[in-house]
Structure 1
Amino acid sequence: MDLSDVRFVKGTRFPLSRLLDKSNSPSDYLGIPLSADPRRVATWDPVIEKCKVKLASWKSRALSFAGRVVLINSVLSTLPLYYMSIFSAPKAVISKIDYIKRGFLRGVEGNKRRLSRVNWGRLCIPKKHGGAGVINLRVKNKALLAKWGWRYATERNALWRSIICHKYGSGELPWMVNLGNIKDASITWKGIISNLQSEETEKWMCGNSFRWQVGDGKIVLFWEDVWYGDKALRSRYPRLYRLVSRKFISVDEMFSADEWLSQDLPALFNRQLLDRERVIVHRIKGEVDRIKIISYVPDRILWVHENDGIFKVKKLSELLMCNGNFEDADLFCYDKIWRLKIPPKKKMRTICLCPAFSWDVFGMHSADGGKVSTVVAWHVSFAAALWSLWLARNEFVFRDKGTIIKDIILFVKMRAFAWCKALKVFEVLDEKRWWDSPGDAAISSEANRILKTVWQPPKFGQMKFNVDGSATKDVAGCGGVLRTAEGYVVAMFFGPVAEINSDFAELSAIKKALEVFSESLWCGKVDLILESDSTVALNWVQNYYVRPWRWGSTFQQFDEDALKIREVKYVFTPRLSNGMADYLAKLGSRRAVMFAACW
């Protein structure tokens, strides 16, 4: 047989010699050099040159400090990070790119030198810890490479995974990357494995960082994987595990096995069990039988460091950056500043002007217990005062121009009013009243907004269940009220919840409302509208794949009750129109048991 020509498409010929000739093969694929050695600095020269062009010195003169930070991060997100998602960057490359970034941030032109205002390491710290949020390339490179471990576990049918699995094998479990002998691995894959094995990354990407949410049970291993509780069954019962005859049996196979259903223990273990071992088996069966197999939902692996269980490079970067280096005490001040509804340039200056103790000195906590509009107005006015003082100081130092206190107060009110008017919470803000008393103007704005928001009754043939959750540092509760189309209250509940968490309290309120309605005489006769003021909880109940893994049993009960109801519509409602449910939730947090009644 002559292999000189190979027929790819009917009527078309392509010479195999050209296909095998390296000189004719492309050097790049999707922007990544195919035969490049990432350990050589020359491989990264195109990236470094592009950074120099994008971060030209003339651009820094036209931007504020905050604008330069934004441009630096936007450039980094499109240039070196693409290479860094595949290759492990050498230290020399990171140093060169950081040198370009530092020069751009300082406004350096040519070979001129200029002193830095702030330490570079401080600027790379996350914003909520007092930094400027400049991307740390070394940390981002580690997070991007670590994502391949997540992709290996989730993309089970991908071609690249099949090739890697065939060439290097899997790890201790089928979904884990093999971290063993990789001497013969390619440079690219060796860099990915070395990153996963590093002490920094392994802390957040080891087997203990993953859990399984059981769906159809065909992938999750009964004994090996962590799917019930915080540990795998083999770790919780090591002596019993040594006697298991089929160690890599899936949950679905175990649950459907006749030996498990009939408790024919000799068929599941290598020898006859002792009485104490039988007790352990019965205890395991009693626990895991609470988990129900959902045949139409695939098993799902979860990353425990994220609430929705989905791995995110941004979250891992934060974990690698923090890694216990920052105290919780720092979170209050800087997190408050970055969440202020003011221009970014003013936020930067506020960070510089306001040390950690300033919030207490200026009475920031005095507004924390007030109404929403009052608190926001106080925060914005505080930032406006700092910015006005800074500008007045510059006028005095550089232009020898003094400013009287009355003018500074006027500038503070003017800037604070302009910034507040841009916020949605101040839809109705009386300008004349603001100049006399900003606090009274903020309160009246809140009152006018309340008048616009009232509870709307459902249509005929529908009933509306308003629910809410409440949580403090010590207690948590939930409550709800069911009304007819005429506005009559026909059911209510309020009581404590098992976990002190505001999101869990909102979720418990929704679950209890469905339980009360499914057991009522209206179930199957009318449609149900369920209103909540929590967008997080409503997103969880409507989207299966974003649900937190640790509350899996709660979601299972929720799905069972929802199937009993003819139709359920989940609607967000502002807290102002959810007053009765809010009152019942706070009342329920002080109770010892749940109260529920229908009439």
Structure 2
Amino acid sequence: MPADLSQAEMIKSILQDYAASVGLSINFQKSTLFTVNSSAEATSRLAQIFDYAIGTMPFTYLGLPMGTTRPTVTDLMPLVASVERKLSSAAVLDLGSKLMLVNSVITSLGIYAMCSIKIPPRVLEHLDKLRRYCLWAKSSDEGTKAVSLAAWEMVCRPKNKGGLGVVDLKIQNQGLLLKMLHKFYNRIDLPWVNLVWSAYYVDSIPHASDPCGLFWWRDVMQLSPIYRAITTVQVGDGRTVLFWKDLWHDAILSDNHPRLYSFAMNEDVSATETPGDVFGVLKDFSQANFTSTAFAMKWRIRVLSGYGNPSAQTNGKSLHGSCWLTG
């Protein structure tokens, strides 16, 4: 909410009226006030209204470090500590039970964090070290020892590839963040999706724009090449689809027609701008060979027949936004 004193007083009044109506009391001292881009004086006044303690960033919310800067290794140490607490009985278990503990319990502890942010490599290395210890730890007269019986890369292979099926945390982290990209590109009706589109990409194509936003979104957008490599595009209005570089036809046009692509004035032109006049995106169309000319003419005919028009019907529905499909 805005750092406005009148709004803060109104919110406190609403909370107190609700508490009185249900016969409860609110303990404001259990809460902490965090402000962004607010003066110390305004923060102090807001804290006095609610009788809150004043907190500083980063802070932990639902187990994740919250702040305006990238989490450090120290900020994510609670995640490492939660894994360490699960290792107390690892040495007395048989190998099958250890494998179950690693896959079902220890690996699962980091899923929530990996769904939200890119985990630093040093933290992933520490978690893998703990997982190796859990898998290979063995009690002996000399104490507990952990001697690896196979390379960790082999252990992380699927069972049908000769491994033990242990999840690769780096790949899992990328896969979970790709789910965010899928929601973003398909404009799922979520607050954060609408915010990112309206704040950064009103008149631009996300994967053709310079990096922008906070650290978490920059990390997510770094996975855009992977996401685009495993998806196809069902063109609606074409405003967020690259004509040359996205897979919206049978193949990526820049790969299938490199000769024609070499004459493009704007390599990152959208599918909306290009179909209206295929010849307008070429530096010197007269230099293109007759095969490229025939290709462009074929596309011109398809454009004139309504292909790529925002009002074109697809599966019985009008697509005003492009749909990115996996599989």
**Who is 1:570 aligned against?**
none
On the 8 A contact 1:152/1:161 being kept in 2, the answer is yes
Matched, 1:211 2:241: no
Quick one: distance in 2 between partners of 1:84 and 1:2?
37
Q: 1:98 aligns with which of 106, 124, 128?
A: 128
Quick one: distance in 2 between partners of 1:128 and 1:188?
35
1:282 to partner: Cα distance: 2.5
Secondary structure in 1 aligned to 2:99?
A: helix
Q: 1:247 to 1:37 in 2, by over 3 A?
A: closer
Matches within 5 A, 1:75-154: 75-109=105-139, 112-154=144-186
Secondary structure in 2 aligned to 1:228?
A: coil
Quick one: distance in 1 between partners of 2:77 and 2:242?
50
1:134 to partner: Cα distance: 0.9
Q: Deviations over 1:430-464 (max 9, x none)?
A: xxxxxxxxxxxxxxxxxxxxxxxxxxxxxxxxxxx
Quick one: distance in 1 between partners of 2:299 and 2:13?
65
On the 8 A contact 1:171/1:179 being kept in 2, the answer is no
What percentage of residue pairs aligned between the two structures are identical? 17
Q: 1:60 to 1:250 in 2, by over 3 A?
A: farther
**Who is 1:191 aligned against?**
219
Residue type of the alignment partner of 1:61:
V
On the 8 A contact 1:5/1:13 being kept in 2, the answer is no
On the 8 A contact 1:210/1:301 being kept in 2, the answer is yes
**Who is 1:7 aligned against?**
10
Residue type of the alignment partner of 1:54:
K
Residue type of the alignment partner of 1:80:
G
Q: 1:282 to 1:119 in 2, by over 3 A?
A: closer
1:241 to partner: Cα distance: 7.8
1:33 to partner: Cα distance: 2.5
Quick one: distance in 1 between partners of 2:123 and 2:13?
49
Quick one: distance in 2 between partners of 1:2 and 1:102?
53
Of structures 1 and 2, the larger Rg is shown by 1
Q: 1:189 to 1:2 in 2, by over 3 A?
A: closer
Q: 1:49 to 1:135 in 2, by over 3 A?
A: same
Q: 1:17 aligns with which of 34, 42, 46?
A: 46
Matches within 5 A, 1:158-169: 158-169=190-201
Q: Deviations over 1:301-346 (max 9, x none)?
A: 113xx3xxxxxxxxxxxxxxxxxxxxxxxxxxxxxxxxxxxxxxxx
Q: 1:12 to 1:93 in 2, by over 3 A?
A: closer
Secondary structure in 1 aligned to 2:184?
A: helix
Residue type of the alignment partner of 1:169:
Y
1:17 to partner: Cα distance: 0.7
Matched, 1:229 2:269: no
**Who is 1:48 aligned against?**
80
Q: 1:151 to 1:76 in 2, by over 3 A?
A: farther
Matched, 1:34 2:66: yes
On the 8 A contact 1:106/1:114 being kept in 2, the answer is yes
Secondary structure in 1 aligned to 2:192?
A: helix
Residue type of the alignment partner of 2:315:
I
**Who is 2:39 aligned against?**
none
On the 8 A contact 1:51/1:100 being kept in 2, the answer is yes
Quick one: distance in 1 between partners of 2:202 and 2:209?
8
On the 8 A contact 1:218/1:250 being kept in 2, the answer is no
On the 8 A contact 1:152/1:177 being kept in 2, the answer is no
On the 8 A contact 1:222/1:250 being kept in 2, the answer is no
1:158 to partner: Cα distance: 2.2
1:157 to partner: Cα distance: 3.2
Quick one: distance in 1 between partners of 2:170 and 2:232?
28
Quick one: distance in 2 between partners of 1:121 and 1:34?
32
On the 8 A contact 2:102/2:166 being kept in 1, the answer is yes
On the 8 A contact 1:170/1:178 being kept in 2, the answer is no
Residue type of the alignment partner of 1:121:
E
TM-score by length of 2: 0.62
Q: 1:104 to 1:168 in 2, by over 3 A?
A: same
TM-score by length of 1: 0.37
Quick one: distance in 1 between partners of 2:127 and 2:5?
53
Quick one: distance in 2 between partners of 1:75 and 1:36?
31
**Who is 2:99 aligned against?**
69
Secondary structure in 2 aligned to 1:113?
A: strand
Matched, 1:249 2:280: no
Secondary structure in 1 aligned to 2:144?
A: coil
On the 8 A contact 1:222/1:233 being kept in 2, the answer is no
Q: Deviations over 1:538-596 (max 9, x none)?
A: xxxxxxxxxxxxxxxxxxxxxxxxxxxxxxxxxxxxxxxxxxxxxxxxxxxxxxxxxxx
Secondary structure in 2 aligned to 1:103?
A: helix
On the 8 A contact 1:55/1:104 being kept in 2, the answer is yes
Residue type of the alignment partner of 1:98:
D
Residue type of the alignment partner of 1:249:
T
**Who is 1:180 aligned against?**
210
Secondary structure in 2 aligned to 1:43?
A: coil
Quick one: distance in 2 between partners of 1:37 and 1:31?
17
Q: 1:7 to 1:134 in 2, by over 3 A?
A: same
Q: 1:142 to 1:282 in 2, by over 3 A?
A: closer
Q: Deviations over 1:456-499 (max 9, x none)?
A: xxxxxxxxxxxxxxxxxxxxxxxxxxxxxxxxxxxxxxxxxxxx
On the 8 A contact 1:220/1:227 being kept in 2, the answer is no
Q: 1:51 to 1:285 in 2, by over 3 A?
A: same
Quick one: distance in 1 between partners of 2:129 and 2:192?
36
Matches within 5 A, 1:299-318: 300-303=323-326, 306=327
Q: Give the unaligned 5+ runs of structure 1.
A: 255-259, 307-599
